[in-house]
Homo-oligomer: A and B are copies of this chain.
Amino acid sequence: MPEDNPPPDVSPRAAVARRIAALRHARGLSLTALAARAGIGKGTLSELESGTRNPTLETLYALAGPLGVPLTGLVGDEAGRSVSDGVVDAHLLSVRTHDDGGTTEVFWLTLAPGGTRISPAHRPGTVEHFRVVRGRGHAGERGAEQGLGPGEAHSWPGDTVHTYGSEEGAEGVLVIETPGDVPGPS
C-alpha cells in the first residue's frame, strides 16, 4: 500500500519554510509586519512558514525583497553549500538525478593538512572518483588507498568503507555515482 511515508522532510517546501522563518527572525520582523511589507496576506505567510503551503514564484519574490535576499537565498538548496568537519570540506557543485533514479554528485573537496577522514559504506553499487588538482592526498578503499598528486585520479567502490586524507593538504574534484533502480515493492 502506498503509505505516504514522509521521510525526514526533504521537500523543498519545508526547506523554504525554515529559511523564511529564520530570515524573518534574524531581521526582527513580526509575521504581520513582513506580510505587510511584502504585500501578501498574513495568513499566507503563516501557513507558508509552517510548511503547509506550496508558494508560487511571485509570492517568494515578494518576500525576497523585504527580507533583503535574492530569490536564490530563499530557494537555495544544498548545492553551493559546504559540509565541513574540520578535515574534509566538501563543496557540492552539482546533483543530477537520472531517469532510473540514480544520482551523480560533483563535489569540490578540500583536504586539510595532516588529516584523514573515514567514510562509511554507501549504498551498493555506488562508485566514487577523485581527481587531485592541487597538493597531494590519498583516497580509496580502506587498506587500499592510493596516493595522488596533481592531475592524478583514482576510482573505487563507494559501498565499502573508504578514506580521504592528506599530509600536506590537497584539493580536487570528487564525483559520486549512486545507482538507481532499486527493485521496488511490486
Identify the A interface with B (CB < 8 A): 11-13, 16, 37, 54-58, 60-61, 65-66, 68, 70-73, 75-80, 91, 93-99, 104, 106, 108, 127, 129, 131, 133-134, 151, 153, 155, 171, 173, 175, 177
Which one of B55, B80, B91, B173 lies within 8 Å of A175 (CB-CB)? Answer: B173
* Count of chain copies: 2
B residues less than 8 Å from A65 (CB atoms): 97
Whether B61 and A72, one on each chain, are in contact in the complex, defined by CB atoms closer than 8 angstroms, is no
Contacts of A106 in B (CB 8 A): 93, 106, 108, 173
The answer on a CB contact under 8 Å between A133 and B104 is: yes
Main secondary structure of the interface of A (DSSP, over half): mixed
Quote the shortest CB–CB distance from A27 to chain B (angstroms). 11
Residues of B within 8 A of A12 (CB): 57-58, 60-61, 71
How far is it, in angstroms, between the C-alpha of A32 and the C-alpha of B56 when the chains are bound?
Answer: 23
Contact B129–A131 (Cβ < 8 Å)? yes
Within the assembled complex, what's the spacing in Å between the Cα atoms of A141 and B186? 43
Tell me the smallest distance from the CB of A124 to a CB of chain B, in Å. 15
